[in-house]
Amino acid sequence: MQSSAQDAGTPYVLQMFSVSKTFGGVRALDDVSFEVREGEVHCLAGENGCGKSTLIKIVTGVYTPEPSADIKCFGQSIRSMSPKQSRAMGIAVIWQDLALFPHMSVAENIAFDQMVGNLPRFVRVGSRLDQVKSILDRLGVQLDLDAPLNTLPIAQRQIVAIARALMGDARLIFMDEPNASLTQSETDHLLEIVRNLSAQGVAVVFVSHRLAEVLEISSRVTVLRDGKMVGVFPTEGMTQARLTELMTGASLQQTVAARDRSAAKPVLAVENLTRHGEFENISFTIRAGEILGLTGLIGSGRTELAHSLIGMTKPDQGAIYLQGRQIKPQSIRQAIDLGIAYVSEDRLSLGLIQPQSISDNSSISVLKSLLNQIGLLSPDKQGQMVRHWINELSIKIGDPDDAVSTLSGGNQQRVVLAKWLATEPQLLILDSPTVGVDVGARAGIFRIIRHLAENGLAILLISDEVTEVLFNSDRILHMNGGRIVNEYDPRQTSVDALEVQIYA
């Protein structure tokens, strides 16, 4: 924890007062003030849709604030900022949606900012390779620099976005959920880099829904709720519980909720499932009403296993039984028809059709059940269903007909959940379902998942967040190197014990 940055003498790099922004009917920011000191790590905390990303977009000139705003950047008063100007002043951003270029190479993505400018100039593709390499070294990762970005899995794309923000000599870096898809060790590298930057006088504004991390890395935290300022607090002496209370206005208690479901009938049984190079000899059973946690590091084969269960890939050996009958799903469509739903890890790009409405996105997988007598889509049925899930998941929206792209990141994820829950499956596979979802909403989502389980749904919960699997599963499987290496009973273990097992 840095306390030096709290010294009142340290100059401000950014000061914003009375910042407001309205989108249609949504008041995204309402009279917010925000100040960052030189070399400070400052967290911006709040629930999904409270306006964190909007604030970042205002500082960087992507959005124009309402005229009341008074912004001072590096001591200079700014009337209206443009993205180029903000970059020139030394502001860099890791965007929540990454904002990368899918068909460009990794190297070009990382070094893209040197290309920006209106005057023609010769550039060599692949110049500054040394700098790119040294940044990746600092992050402790190796990437194929020539590979087109869209051939990379989501976690590596996030690394690319981070590396890009570290190119050039930024004096103020915004990181909007920079580690949502990263492994623990990659996250550790990132946090280390943040500390180094801070020691060199670079200010970092960090947004994350993982509160432990927020408290570990930052010296101050600004809390927003529903677009309004709650306040600025030093992190010394702050606890997760207190921070949650500030963000949500209510206190949440997490407890182990596991129950014994060994008497219920099996819904899914997997026997010796193998896909060479991905996972070996996987056997387990999920019973009706059971929530089975599956944890392990990224790359341990958990996501690949899920892909085989839902027909995206074919296993080489072994069998899958659903309700006692052997199944061999050949496609996702077939898996859905069999009663399996899968909420994927990369849901922002795979799960949603961004320009289409919230309503259409959430009903797309169940269109058949929304037809009226003459076989046309019934707007009444659709509206009813959509309203039901918006309420259940407390999705913060203006109008169900707005495009999904207007929602905050966390709320987009809830729309994906709604889409899958609406298929009323027998088996629900959730791959990291709360990445980027705030604490309040996490509790809400797990309440719903628990409720679904109580109605007999079998649930496979894949996550590398130890607390999440511990508090919400009935049993926990631990995968490593493509094999199941252990099974735990949540009632007989603890967060610390489990963390040691997994990260050791």
Partner 1 sequence: MPRVLRELGTVEGRLLFVIILMFVGLSLSTDSFLTLANLTSLLNNNAVNLIWAVGLLVVLIAGGIDISFAVAASVVQYLAVYVFGLMGGGNWFLGFVVCGVIGIGLGLINAVLIHGFRVISIVITIATFNAFFGLLMFFSSGRSVYLLPDWWTDRIFIFEHQSASGVWSELNLAVGVMVACVLVTWILIRFTNLGRQLYAFGDNPEAARRAGVNIALMQALAFGWMGMMAGIGGLMQVNIVKEVVPNALYGRELEVLAAVVLGGARLGGGRGSILGCILGVMFVAITQNGLNLLGISPFAFNMIIGAAILIAISSSNLSFDIRPSRRAVLQEAAK
Binding site for ligand ATP (CB under 6 A): 23-24, 26, 28, 46, 48-54, 96, 396, 406-411, 438
Q: Give the C-alpha separation, 144 to 275, whole Å.
A: 25
Q: Please say which residue, 59 or 428, places its beta carbon nearer to partner 1.
A: 59
Residue nearest to Mg ion (CB): 53
Q: Which does 126 bind (CB under 5 to 8 A by kind): ligand ATP, partner 1, Mg ion, none?
A: none
Q: Name, in order, each residue with C-beta under 8 angstroms of 150's C-beta and a sequence gap of 6 or more.
A: 102, 103
Q: Please say which residue, 86 or 219, places its beta carbon nearer to partner 1.
A: 86
**Beta carbon of residue 447, minimum distance to ligand ATP (angstroms, whole number):** 19
Nearest to 236 by CA among 5, 16, 439, 496: 5
Nearest-Å Rg of the Cα atoms of the chain is: 23
Report which DSSP code applies to 105. Answer: B
Please name the residue that has the structure tokens 């020139």: 88
Q: Which two tokens stand for residue 406?
A: 């207007």
**Beta carbon of residue 119, minimum distance to partner 1 (angstroms, whole number):** 8
Q: Please say which residue, 174 or 284, places its beta carbon nearer to ligand ATP.
A: 174
Site residues for partner 1, window 143-162 (CB under 8 A)? 144, 146-148, 150-153, 155-156
Contact 327, 495 (CB under 8 A): no
Q: Please say which residue, 406 or 432, places its beta carbon nearer to ligand ATP.
A: 406
Q: Give the C-alpha separation, 314 to 106, whole Å.
A: 30
Q: Give the C-alpha separation, 59 to 13, whole Å.
A: 12
* Position 123 contacts partner 1 (CB under 8 A): yes
Contact 209, 240 (CB under 8 A): no
x-or-dash string of contact with Mg ion, 68-107, rule CB under 5 A:
----------------------------x-----------
Site residues for Mg ion, window 408-437 (CB under 5 A)? 408-409
Q: Show the beta-strand stretches assigned E in 163-278.
A: 172-176, 203-207, 220-225, 228-234, 266-275
Q: Give the C-alpha separation, 295 to 432, whole Å.
A: 10
Q: Which does 396 bind (CB under 5 to 8 A by kind): ligand ATP, partner 1, Mg ion, none?
A: ligand ATP
User: Interface with Mg ion by CB under 5 A: which residues?
Assistant: 53, 96, 408-409
Name the site residues for partner 1 (rule: CB under 8 A): 60, 62, 82-87, 93, 95, 98-104, 108, 112-118, 120-125, 144, 146-148, 150-153, 155-156, 277-278, 298-299, 301, 303-304, 307, 313, 482
